[in-house]
Amino acid sequence: MSDRSGKIDVFFYEAFAEETAALRHRLSPDVRAGFTPLTIQECFFRIPPSPFISIRTQSVIPPGWAGLLQGILTRSTGYDHVNRFREETGCDIPAGYLPRYCNRAVAEQALLLWMGLLRKLGLQIRRFENFDRDGLTGGECLGRTLLVVGVGNIGSEICRLGRALGMEVAGVDILRKHRDVHYVDIEEGIAQADVIVCAMNLTPENRGYFRYELLKRARRGAVFVNVARGELSPHRDLLRLLDEGCLSGAALDVYENESALAVSLRSGVPGGNENVRACLELRKRENVILTPHNAFNTAEALERKAGQSAEQVERFLTEKTFLWRVPSPGAPG
């Protein structure tokens, strides 16, 4: 597949150590690949190291690269960041994604987060130091109402886990394609839910969906979990909802302006972005759990991701197309 001229066939950004090892194992020996754990903006490359790059969700592709790239593979189930680049540059570069590698992993992380909130896990851990149980009384899942907003591959798996725990489960989605899901509209669902999980795809139309005005109509004391995209739940609105007691807890694995947040946290340089500052304020709250966009990261999902990424890379290098193609901006998904 390589012309053996010394050029890199594909360059992987945001590839942490375990993923790099799995990708090296799965890629054909003929594929010359480069790897870095950093985002594009952390590398300061003037031009792309290869005309074919692979990213995750935190890399921001420079607009000037539009005419230098031949293909983009995002190793994620969402692709809003890729289409944002294509829309901004007007360059419809072939792009691929991985639609089904981490459904179970992300669903289990959502479960982990809402149970952590219901049982006040962070506070429990801190109270071990003096073995004090005052104020630690939590709640059980059995009999509580779970609302899953966005019932796609991941959301439907979250619904299954909720039912297995004896919860009353409802889903909200434009497409009602799962026969085993009880669908409701958002107004009905939000008023009944004890646990609200965001598993929606991000689109230009639903940005800021879980705004203050919507979530303040939730059952008082509900908990909110976002494992989809941070732009769906504005940080400042969550702070206000927590301060006013509308929500008793919030857990996030994804963040507004996540690329800026990640760079700020890794570099230790305070971010000037107001969304970054709001996230850092959320971090101080005892009833908030924040994880580093890690819901996808299980050994099982890692193997699936590496295998599917290798398939995508080899298909593109041989045929200049992808098995799983990102729809062009504005096209049906």
Rounded CA-CA distance 293/238 in Å is 18
pLDDT for residue 160 is more than 90: yes
- pLDDT one-digit tens code per residue, 270-329: 767 899 999 999 999 999 999 999 999 999 999 999 999 999 999 999 999 999 999 877
Q: What is the pLDDT of residue 47?
A: 96
CB atoms closer than 10 angstroms to residue 139? 17
Rounded CA-CA distance 74/65 in Å is 16
CB atoms closer than 10 angstroms to residue 130? 7
Contact 306, 73 (CB under 8 A): no
**Which of 172, 235, 218, 197 has the alpha carbon at shortest distance from 109?**
197
- pLDDT one-digit tens code per residue, 205-225: 999 999 999 999 999 999 999
Rounded CA-CA distance 295/302 in Å is 11
Instruction: Return the HEC string of 66-117.
Output: CCCCCEEEECCCCCHHHHHHHHHHCCCCCEECCCCCCHHHHHHHHHHHHHHH
Query: Is the fold of 10-100+299-319 the same as that of 103-290?
Result: yes
Rounded CA-CA distance 141/110 in Å is 13
- pLDDT one-digit tens code per residue, 239-270: 999 999 999 999 999 999 999 999 899 888 87
Contact 41, 266 (CB under 8 A): no
| Global pTM value | 0.92
Return the CA Rg of the chain: 21
Determine the average pLDDT of the residues in 88-96: 96
Task: Tell me the CATH class for 10-100+299-319.
Answer: alpha beta
Residue type, 138: G
Task: Tell me the CATH class for 103-290.
Answer: alpha beta
Contact 224, 236 (CB under 8 A): no
Average pLDDT, the chain: 94
Contact 88, 63 (CB under 8 A): yes
Determine the average pLDDT of the residues in 225-233: 98
Element (H, E) at 249: strand 247-252
- pLDDT one-digit tens code per residue, 176-208: 999 999 999 999 999 999 999 999 999 999 999
Residue type, 59: S
Q: What is the pLDDT of residue 6?
A: 57
Tokens of 45: 């490359």
Q: How far is CA 130 from CA 76, 124, 286, 287, in A?
A: 42, 11, 17, 19
Residue type, 240: R
Domain boundaries, the chain: 10-100+299-319, 103-290
Contact 93, 230 (CB under 8 A): no
